[in-house]
Each structure stands twice: as C-alpha cells, then as structure tokens.
Chain A
C-alpha cells in the first residue's frame, strides 16, 4: 500500500507541470490582472513551457504543448493553432538553448527566455495581425511581454523548489 501511495505521489508530482499547463489553458483562471492594475498581464503558459522544456523536457512533451495551445485558442476565441504555434516556438528555443549551452546558470536561462518571448510573440502576432480580423493594441502586447520576462525569476525559483520536492519524493 505504501509503495502504491509513494508511486502515485511521485507520478502526480511529475505530471503536475503538465496538469498546470492544461488547467491554465482550459480554465477561466487567467493571468490578466487589468482590473487591479491596468497594464499587468503576463503569459504564464509561456513561462511553464520554456522552463520545463529547457530543464526537464521529458515532463511536458511537445504533443501536450500543442494540445494545450489548441485548447487555449478555443477558450480565448483565437484562430486555432495560433497559441499552439507560439508555445511550440518557445519550446523550440528552449530545446535549442539546451543543445548549445554547457554551463547553465539562472542568468543565461533568464536572458535566453527573452529570445523565446521574442520569437514566440513574433510568430503569434504576425499570424494574428496579418490573417485575422483582430485589432491589436501593441502597447498591451509590449506590457504582456515585459511582465512575462520580469516575472520569470519568481517562477524559476518556485519551479526549482518544486523540482527539489520531486527529488525528495523520489529519494524517500
């Protein structure tokens, strides 16, 4: 019984990032706080995708990232595939950085996240702006990208603590 419980706990902690990604995409819990502070909004999904694909890619998986993006498009009313593409581009940047960097540090991860935000937003807004009828407010996009970048360290710390938790469950 104890073994089953331990195995369940380990499995659950391992799939938690994936569950969080799906939950953020499917639920109306959002990271848009314009009601409290007019310019505050950030893209938590992008942070999750980048962090976990950079450090522990086997916990997320590109297929799941794609489906989470499709679900997010449906819930937010965007053309299907736009968010999926944006997340996959972030995942691609994370995979590339993982392949080319040997000495990883917090600062390299934070600053390379800027590349992920840039390319993922570039593809996303180019498609939305050129091929859909949505009107875009570029200043809002800028604030969203800025806060996503600025809040990355906080989530980096939280996720690192979480990784230690997985490790401690594994070693028990």
Chain B
C-alpha cells in the first residue's frame, strides 16, 4: 500500500518538476506562471493594460499574416466561381432591372414614409456622425467569444462601447481597444445586450445574444403581441448607441421572439465604427 503511494508521488513529482530532454522549464514553474499571468490580466492595472495592448497588436498582425494564404485562396475560389457564372448572373441581373423599374413607381411614396420614420427615430444624428472604416483582420470563432478583430484602434480614435456597422446595419460594439487594433463583440455573442425598439409599434426590448446567428428579444412588454418581420432598431436607451440603427427583422421560433440580423456576422470583411463623443447623450 505504502509502496504504491510512494510510486504515485514519485510519478507525480517527476511529471511536475522534472525537466526532460530539451525542456528548459519545469511544468510546475510554467503552471504557476500561467496562473500568475491570468490573475494579473483579470484585475485591471495600467502596466498590464499596456502590455496586453502591445501583445494584442503584435499577435493580431502575425495572425493576419499567417492566414493570408488561406484568405487568398478563398478569394481566388470566389472570383473563379463568379467568373464561371457570369452568363447566368447577366440574365438574372436583366430580370432584376425589369423588376426594379416596376418598383420605381413606389419609391417616391417610400421616400416620404422613410423621412417620417427617421423623424420618429431621430436618426439624423446617427447619419451625420463621424465614422472610421476598418478591415476585419481575424474572425476566429471560439466557444466563448463571438468576436472579430479590426485593423484600427485608439490611434483612429476608436474607444470601448462604440457601435460597429456593416453596410449601415449594426453588427456589434467595440469591447477591447489597442493602439492599432480593436475587438468587436458581435450581436450573437452570449455577452451581448443591446436595447432596441421594435417598429412599427415602438415596443422596447433587449436584444440578447445566445451564441446563434439569431439573437433573441428579452424583456418585452407583458402584453406584447409579436409578429414576424417587424423591424428592429437600436433604441439608444443606454445612452451609448445612437437610436435608429437598423438591426434586423423579428422571427418567431419555438415561442421565442428572435431577430434575423440584416448583416451576416460570418460574411463581414469591412465595417465602419461610429465615433461617439462620450459627452453626447441620446
């Protein structure tokens, strides 16, 4: 009995403390170092923030470089595919033009309606706001964080909390800022919570990420009757986001009100970050 316990402790100590061939550090030392770094990083301090920002900037660039051959082949594949289907696309586009010409008659009515809705939502502020266009460097999926890395940071006046749009549709908000890069938390992330307003009745709710492509609406009014295809905009109730940024359309799934986002989070390559003046309140 005692000898087996002795064997156990010898094997345990050997695994933890012994440095094998070409091993410069013992496992025990490295485990302690990891724990120390974790706690230093978990509790905010100026020195650690600067170190982390420098590390982030460097590694994001290396990561972008490491995956550039894969990105190149993916774009080459898409280009070849597009080229092969150009004849088919031409016929499709001709049909589309016909349809659009028919729809043109309705446009003047929609312009007036749109203007009225914008007045309700006070979107002029949002449309005239200053923006920074940024490229998505990395969009690595992780089981914990649905986020993308942008190639602009505090050098371009980006700050934490700023809304990020893709083709004028909300995709998320900035959660980490380094000098020349930043991280955007996507709307589908579990930690994402955005106050929204549902049109046309103006009901208020919280758009809550659940890890899927369709975030759900929470804290809806008790007597709220949900319909499909209602438009969802930011409400600006948090005082951070501009009101009236288009988010998506409602869909009903398993007795839950979900939102089909206008922007596909897996397909974004360029985004614009709205530079918000912290003193401004909406």
Chain B interface secondary structure, helix, strand, loop or mixed? helix
Report the stretch among B31-39, B95-103, B154-162, B233-241 that lies at the interface: B31-39
Query: Which residues of A from 85 to 128 have beta carbons under 8 Å from B?
Result: 85, 88-89, 91-92, 95-96, 98-100, 127-128
A30 contact set on B, CB distance < 8 A: 140-142
With A61-B23, A75-B138, A88-B34 in contact, is A128–B39 under 8 Å at CB? Answer: no
Q: How many whole Å from A64's CB to the nearest CB in chain B?
A: 10
B27 touches A77 (CB 8 A): no
**CB of A140 within 8 A of chain B?**
yes
The reply to whether A88 and B30 contact each other, CB–CB distance below 8 Å, is: yes
Q: Which residues of B contact A95 (CB under 8 A)?
A: 14-16, 27
Beta-carbon contact of B66 and A81 below 8 Å: no
Interchain CB contact under 8 A, A75 and B34 = no
Contact B7 A69 (CB under 8 A): no
Q: Does B63 lie within 8 Å of A26, measured CB to CB?
A: yes
Task: Give the size range of A's interface with the partner.
Answer: 35 or more
A66 to B38, CA, bound (A): 12
Once A71-B59, A81-B37, A127-B38 are accepted as A-B contacts, the answer to whether A58 and B143 lie under 8 Å apart by CB is no
A96-B12, A133-B191 known; 7 new pairs, CB 8 Å cut-off, are: A41-B143, A61-B23, A62-B25, A66-B25, A80-B41, A85-B38, A88-B34
What is the bound-complex CA distance between A63 and B142, given in angstroms? Answer: 24
Q: 6 closest Cβ contacts across the A-B interface?
A: A81-B38, A95-B15, A81-B37, A32-B141, A99-B11, A85-B34
- Whether A74 contacts B55 in the complex (CB less than 8 A), given A41-B143, A62-B25, A99-B15, comes out as yes
Q: Using Cβ atoms and an 8 Å threshold, which residues of chain B touch A62? A: 23, 25-27, 30
A139-154 at interface with B (beta carbon < 8 Å): 140-141, 144
- Could you tell me if A92 and B34 are in contact, using CB atoms closer than 8 angstroms? no
A78 to B143, CA, bound (A): 11
A5: Cβ under 8 A from any B Cβ: no
Identify 25 residue pairs between A and B in the complex whose beta-carbon atoms are under 8 Å apart, listed by A's number: A26-B59, A27-B63, A27-B140, A28-B67, A34-B211, A41-B143, A58-B21, A61-B23, A74-B56, A74-B59, A75-B59, A76-B142, A77-B142, A77-B147, A77-B176, A79-B41, A84-B34, A88-B27, A89-B31, A92-B27, A95-B16, A96-B11, A96-B12, A100-B7, A135-B191
Which chain A residues border B183 with CB–CB below 8 Å? 77
Identify the closest chain B residue to A136 (Cβ). B144
Which chain B residues border A29 with CB–CB below 8 Å?
67, 70
Whether A28 contacts B138 in the complex (CB less than 8 A), given A74-B59, A78-B144, A100-B7, comes out as yes
